[in-house]
Amino acid sequence: MSIVEDTARAVAERYSIHEIRIPLMERVELYQRSSGETSDVVEKQMYAFADHDEAQTMLALRPEGTPGVVRAYIEAGLDRSDPEQRFYYSGPMFRRERPQKGRFRQFHQFGVEIFGRPDAACDAELMVMIDELRRELGLELEFQINSLGDAQCRPAFRAALLGWGRAHLHELCEDCHQRLERNPLRLLDCKIDVKKVESAPRSTDYLCEECRKHFDTVQALLAEAGVPYIVNPKLVRGLDYYNRTTFEAISGAIGSQSAVVAGGRYDGLVETLGGASIAGTGFAIGVERIALALEAERFRIKTTPDVALIAMGEAALHTAIGLARGLRQANLRVELLSPERGLKALLRRADKIGAHHALILGANELAKGVVQLRDLKSSTQREVPLAETINALAADAEIQLSPVRPLERD
E strand or H helix at 219, and its extent?
Answer: helix 209-224
Q: How far is the CB of 72 from ligand HAM (least distance, A)?
A: 14
Count of residues in the chain: 410
CA distances, 374 to each of 236, 350, 361 (Å): 58, 11, 11
**Closer to ligand HAM at the Cβ: 222 or 269?**
269
Q: How far is the CB of 105 from ligand HAM (least distance, A)?
A: 7
The closest alpha carbon to 20, from 86, 84, 72, 89, belongs to 89
Residues that bind ligand HAM (CB under 6 A): 64-66, 95, 97, 103-104, 107, 109, 111, 113, 239, 259-264, 282-284, 286, 288-289
**Closer to ligand HAM at the Cβ: 275 or 282?**
282
Helix (H, G, I), strand (E, B) or coil at 113: strand
CA 329 to CA 333: how far, in whole Å? 9
CA 293 to CA 258: how far, in whole Å? 9
**Closer to ligand HAM at the Cβ: 128 or 355?**
128
CA distances, 27 to each of 24, 34, 67, 71, 334 (Å): 11, 12, 10, 11, 46
**Closer to ligand HAM at the Cβ: 65 or 275?**
65
Per the CB < 8 A criterion, the answer to whether 110 and 8 are in contact is yes
Q: Which letter does DSSP use for residue 273 in this model?
A: T
E strand or H helix at 123, and its extent?
Answer: helix 120-137
Q: Which letter does DSSP use for residue 197 in this model?
A: G
Q: How far is the CB of 7 from ligand HAM (least distance, A)?
A: 16
Q: How far is the CB of 126 from ligand HAM (least distance, A)?
A: 9
Q: How far is the CB of 356 from ligand HAM (least distance, A)?
A: 34
Q: How far is the CB of 39 from ligand HAM (least distance, A)?
A: 9
**Closer to ligand HAM at the Cβ: 201 or 282?**
282
Residue nearest to ligand HAM (CB): 286
The DSSP code sequence of 59-105 is: EEE-S-SHHHHHHHHHHTTHHHH---EEEEEEEEEE-----BTTB-S
One-letter amino acid for residue 17 of the chain: I
**Closer to ligand HAM at the Cβ: 105 or 341?**
105
Q: How far is the CB of 121 from ligand HAM (least distance, A)?
A: 17
Q: How far is the CB of 313 from ligand HAM (least distance, A)?
A: 53
